[in-house]
Amino acid sequence: FFPICLVFLGFIVIFLYKNYNINNLFPILGNGTASILKGGIRNISCYSDVLALNLLLPHLSDISVPKKSGRKALLIASLTMLFICLSYALCYPYPWSKEYLLPVYQLSTRIRAGEYFQRFEAFFEFVWEISQLLYSTIYIFLISETLSKAFNLSDRTAICYGIIATVMLVAAEPSSVVDVLKVTQIADMATAHLAYILPIVIPVLYIVKRKKAQNLE
């Protein structure tokens, strides 16, 4: 499915060239480096999904696979966000560019290519829904796998049903997309520290456990 997403983003970057204005990039650094660093630290949780690779390690026979996958995932995510942010900044002047809801969706609504591509956001909704379905499936598997190991359960079917029911109930609670984004921002702020703590804590625990095993031997 990644090639489809890549083609979709390529269409956005290409067909929006008429809306690009280099002057929209100014003032450079916006409100200053302090504001940028503060916002970057708060939103760094968007890269924390790469930590999910740690949960897949027991299912892999070659340890080099997650290393390569992690590097590729970070590279692809970084380049994708770079192109999206750059396209958005070129299309919307400052400070309007700060008032964003769904940047890719907003960009797709501005595409006008003749008489045919005037509702390009329909393609965005298709790509977005499939991506969210794949994303949710992976995390449901990881959550069920973690819970089954934590409670020593052999049957993961009941756990999957419970997780799906919980997700559906939580998803039905917000009354609008704005409420969903607010909840997402709160969740990102609450879990952002994991992106800093886990990469430090996990190696330390591994080293301690390894030393204890060596002492016992």
Q: Quick: pLDDT tens for 164-173.
A: 888 888 777 7
Q: Which residue has the tokens 């997402």?
A: 184
d(CA 75, CA 72): 5
Confidence band of 18 (pLDDT split at 50, 70, 90) = confident
Query: What's the pLDDT score for residue 134?
Result: 84
Cα three-residue angle 135-136-140, rounded to 5 degrees: 125
d(CA 155, CA 167): 20
Alpha carbon of residue 118 to chain centroid: 28
Nearest to 56 by CA among 69, 73, 43: 69
Task: Tell me the pLDDT of the chain averaged across its residues.
Answer: 77
Residues 6+ apart with CB under 8 A from 36: 29, 30
Confidence band of 207 (pLDDT split at 50, 70, 90) = confident
Residue predicted with more confidence, 58 or 201: 201
d(CA 54, CA 88): 33
Residue boundaries of the structural domains of the chain: 2-216
| Cα separation of the two ends of the chain | 48
Question: In this structure, which amino acid lies at residue 42?
Answer: R
Q: 76 to each of 6, 13, 56, 60, how far by Cα in Å? A: 10, 16, 19, 22
Q: Could you report the per-residue pLDDT of 103-136, keeping only the tens digit for each?
A: 888 888 787 766 666 677 777 778 888 888 888 8
Q: Could you report the per-residue pLDDT of 64-93, keeping only the tens digit for each?
A: 777 777 788 778 878 888 888 888 888 888
Is pLDDT of 192 > 70? no
Q: Which residues of 93-111 are buried (b: 16+ CB within 10 A; e: fewer)?
A: eeeebeeeeebbebbbeeb
Query: What's the pLDDT score for residue 48?
Result: 65
Least confident of 63-67, 98-102, 156-160, 191-195: 191-195
Q: For residue 117, list its beta bridge partners.
A: 113
**Considering Cα of 18, then 19, then 23, then 29, what sign does the dihedral take?**
negative
Is pLDDT of 161 > 80? yes
Is pLDDT of 157 > 70? yes
d(CA 37, CA 24): 21
Cβ distance 143 to 164 under 8 Å?
A: no
Average pLDDT of the residues in 198-216? 76
- Model-level pTM greater than 0.75? no
